[in-house]
């Protein structure tokens, strides 16, 4: 009886590792630093050593481990290889093969945004659903998609790259991906600040508390809107509108049960889910107009849980 599984969320500065019971109960979690030296060649051996040591400490035999899931910051091919993770120095790498060799148990590899969606489905804001879209509103806009309980990674590992759906073909400036008008350009935390700056520029004579901020952040914008600042309210409305519009396009393709909003911007709480839901309904195809909105619940642990879920079926 294989009672345990492991989840490893590999990030640019730290690796979050967890040992779980296969029913989703966390046994223990800890972190190790990500050693990016030597093109990241030490990362997988470091993880394997740390995991083996912890299993031994807990008296858990290798035979009792169903497998280990790893989430990596980059696109993952269906065979568990990656085409490069620039943040951690990797070029083309067979993560599944190398890790199975090191650990001697089955290994599954997923993209970090997709495994976070799986984590929210297993134990978080999307618990009880099988069709889940996780939208991470941070520096960029990330997406993770689960359909029928399985990650949709796509042929190129670019499934659910929802931040780069074009929602404004007439945009003049370029997104980080080199094209104009992406959802991320408006709906990331950076995007919220951009919308605010553009509006302040356009409405130069209008008073707003947003002008008092030296380094304007997305939080400042949402806080000011909450406090009733008129300009901030207009910016917030535009933000909700852009995001709701973008999500309406995505739902016409994948029709999830629930859209889970996470990332820094989601700290705005129900004000965010309610605001986006309203504009979403305005644009959505009638059959998916009632799609639920929820807040992510697992924070930085979502990826680690989702990684474990990849191997616990």
Tokens encoding 287:
């059959």
Q: How far is the CB of 141 from Zn ion (least distance, A)?
A: 9
End-to-end CA distance of the chain: 13
Looking at the Cβ atoms of 8 and 182, the one nearer to Zn ion is 182
Q: What are phi and psi of 148, to 5 degrees?
A: 60, 30
Structure token digits, residue 309? 């879920």
Binding site for Zn ion (CB under 5 A): 164, 175, 177, 182
CB of 312 to Zn ion, least distance (A): 34
> Which of residues 96 and 164 has its CB atom nearest to Zn ion in the complex?
164
Q: Apex CA 64: angle with CA 107 and CA 6, to 5°? A: 40
Q: Which is nearer to Zn ion, 17 or 135 (CB)?
A: 135
Taking the least distance from each CB to Zn ion, the nearer of 188 and 291 is 188
CB of 106 to Zn ion, least distance (A): 35
* CB of 189 vs Zn ion, minimal distance in Å: 15
Distance of CA 26 to the CA centre of its chain: 21
d(CA 224, CA 195): 14
Q: Name the residue nearer to Zn ion (CB basis): 93 or 164.
A: 164
Pairing relation of β-strands 292-295 and 258-262?
A: parallel
Is-contact 261 135, C-beta < 8 A? yes
**Least separation, in Å, of the C-beta of 137 and Zn ion?**
15
For residue 131, the tally of other CB atoms under 10 A from its CB is 18
Q: How far is CA 155 from the centre of its chain?
A: 19
């Amino acid at each position: 009886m294989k009672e345990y599984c492991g989840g490893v969320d590999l990030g640019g500065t730290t690796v979050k590792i967890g040992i779980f019971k296969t029913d989703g109960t966390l046994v223990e979690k800890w972190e190790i630093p990500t050693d990016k030296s030597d093109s990241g060649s030490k990362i997988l051996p470091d993880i394997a050593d740390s995991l083996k040591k912890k299993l031994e400490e807990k008296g858990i035999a290798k035979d009792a481990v169903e497998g280990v899931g790893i989430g990596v910051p980059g696109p993952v091919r269906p065979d568990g290889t990656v085409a490069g993770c620039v943040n951690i120095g990797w070029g083309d790498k067979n993560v599944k093969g190398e890790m199975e060799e090191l650990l001697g148990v089955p290994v599954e590899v997923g993209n970090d945004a997709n495994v976070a969606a799986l984590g929210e489905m297993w134990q978080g804001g999307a618990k009880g659903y099988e069709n889940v879209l996780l939208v991470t509103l941070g520096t960029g806009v990330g997406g993770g998609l689960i359909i029928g309980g399985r990650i949709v990674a796509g042929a190129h590992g670019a499934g659910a790259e929802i931040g780069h759906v074009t929602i404004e073909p007439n945009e003049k400036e370029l997104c980080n991906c080199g094209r104009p008008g992406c959802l991320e350009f408006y709906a990331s935390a950076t995007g919220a600040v951009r919308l605010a700056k553009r509006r302040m520029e356009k409405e130069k004579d209008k008073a707003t508390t947003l002008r008092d901020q030296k380094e304007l952040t997305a939080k400042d914008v949402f806080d000011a809107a909450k406090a009733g600042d008129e300009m901030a309210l207009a910016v917030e409305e535009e933000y909700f509108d852009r995001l709701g519009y973008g999500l309406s396009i995505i739902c016409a393709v994948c029709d999830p049960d629930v859209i889970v909003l996470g990332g820094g911007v989601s700290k705005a709480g129900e004000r965010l889910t309610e605001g986006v839901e309203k504009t979403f309904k305005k644009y959505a195809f009638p059959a998916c107009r009632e799609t639920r909105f929820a807040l992510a619940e697992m924070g930085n642990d979502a990826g680690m849980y989702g990684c474990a879920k990849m191997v616990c079926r």
